[in-house]
Chain A
């Protein structure tokens, strides 16, 4: 048997049928999860700056102590599962409720700044796009080993910013192409 990984294909415009109609997960942290409760609003924009109304955003994050949920855990009932997924609305946005992650162990004894791993899937996206969300103003960002790999003038595309109108709400724009294009990672 050929063990080359199976190729990716676009999730297409009808992803809701199989993925988010029945199993959208907007709440990553339940009431019992410890940490600072936050809301993250994503906005997906295309190369013309127009909203992307038919994409799906998936998140994977550590808890407030910097630990990832483990296989074998009681996943769907867990206070903190670390995983969320939502379809974008007509305005290209979706909002998750979670807790702010802690710093995560990094290579060579380093500590990665608090971050959230982000996947973007959609019509016209032939394979998953991966990026990371970091928090603007977080002092640990300066020592983050992954941000250190990103050209300085593009680091700002990886920062979520506090929404001045709503406490504990953060906004993260995903610009798929062109001006202000988000940094995407080869993972």
Chain B
């Protein structure tokens, strides 16, 4: 069986697939990272088995396009009143590893409120909930891969990973891209946060330049005068190893 997997030519062109590029060493977090305590019981101990991409990996769900509402991308207008905190605009572009736009693709976000509290039943941090803030948004990228959200700058919050542990302020991002293997769930941080050095979740990414890719940049162009500061957060999904042949 393994000989057929390494076969370069395929008798039936409809059965050949263009595989996606693999990650460079150090640019993604490890599974087992003891400083992040929860990995100790949830990271596999056996090495992963390399899976050459088949139709199952290069296809992916088309999901979430039909019921997006206009207020889904503005987290400050989802309730009767305005949420408390610093209003911000987060804008960016989603591209693949070749720099091509990823258009018409679902992005889902969720976050704590300005006080660092999630509107989640399991969050028991003694900071106030905001009745005007759910902290949930979604949107589609446009034809050029751009997206934007209006929201409130989330607060930092404590967690119980270690003594006096605090998460830097962040927004969770979920993206699908075109294939099963392009699925990405990540977190966006804010520039200059003094908590970065103490956060094992961010530090689980070995490469410093890769970590910096999760830090948004203040962007005057995105900033709206007399209304909200703007942050730019671009996202790169995996690209293909080679361009598939046109038939």
Footprint of B on A, CB under 8 Å?
A: 1-19, 21-23, 46-48, 50, 52, 54, 58, 60, 62, 68-77, 81-83, 104-110, 112, 115, 117, 119, 121-130, 132, 143, 145-146, 148-150, 154, 176-178, 181-187
Contacts and interface: CB of A to CB of B under 8 A. Distances in A.
Contacts of A112: 54-56
A122 B11 contact: no
B136 interface: yes
Contact of A187 (B29, B57, B95, B134): B57
Nearest to A129: B44
A22 B119 CA distance: 14
Interface in B85-107: 95, 97-99
Given A3-B95, A21-B136, 5 more contacts: A4-B27, A17-B119, A48-B41, A126-B201, A148-B1
Given A7-B213, A47-B42, A109 B235 contact: no
A104 B55 contact: yes
Interface residues of B, number: 93
Interface in B10-33: 10-12, 14-17, 22-24, 27-31, 33
Interface string B107-147: 01110000000111011000000000011111000000000
B236 A17 contact: no
Contact of A181 (B45, B108, B122, B183): B45
B210 interface: yes
B30 to A, nearest CB: 7
6 contacts: A6-B184, A15-B110, A17-B110, A126-B39, A145-B5, A184-B44
B84 to A, nearest CB: 18
Contact of B29 (A7, A77, A129, A150): A7
A37 B37 CA distance: 40
A83 B138 CA distance: 18
Contact of A125 (B1, B37, B43, B186): B43
A58 B183 contact: yes
A148 B2 CA distance: 7
B27 A5 contact: yes
A181 B213 CA distance: 32
A14 B122 contact: yes
Interface stretch (B60-68, B190-198, B223-231): B60-68
A82 B61 CA distance: 7
Given A6-B235, A18-B136, A60-B61, A125 B49 contact: no
B186 A8 contact: yes
Contacts, number: 272
B79 interface: no
Contacts of B27: 4-5, 7
B110 A14 contact: yes
Contacts of B98: 3
B55 A68 contact: yes
Contacts of B238: 5
A126 B29 contact: yes
Given A12-B172, A46-B41, A149-B2, A107 B110 contact: no
B163 to A, nearest CB: 19
B23 to A, nearest CB: 6
Nearest to B122: A13
B43 A186 contact: no
Contacts of A19: 108, 110, 174
A60 B180 contact: yes
A75 B186 contact: no
Contacts of B52: 107
B120 A14 contact: yes
A124 B42 contact: yes
B210 A4 contact: yes
Contacts of A121: 185
B190 to A, nearest CB: 14
A148 to B, nearest CB: 4
Contacts of A81: 61-63
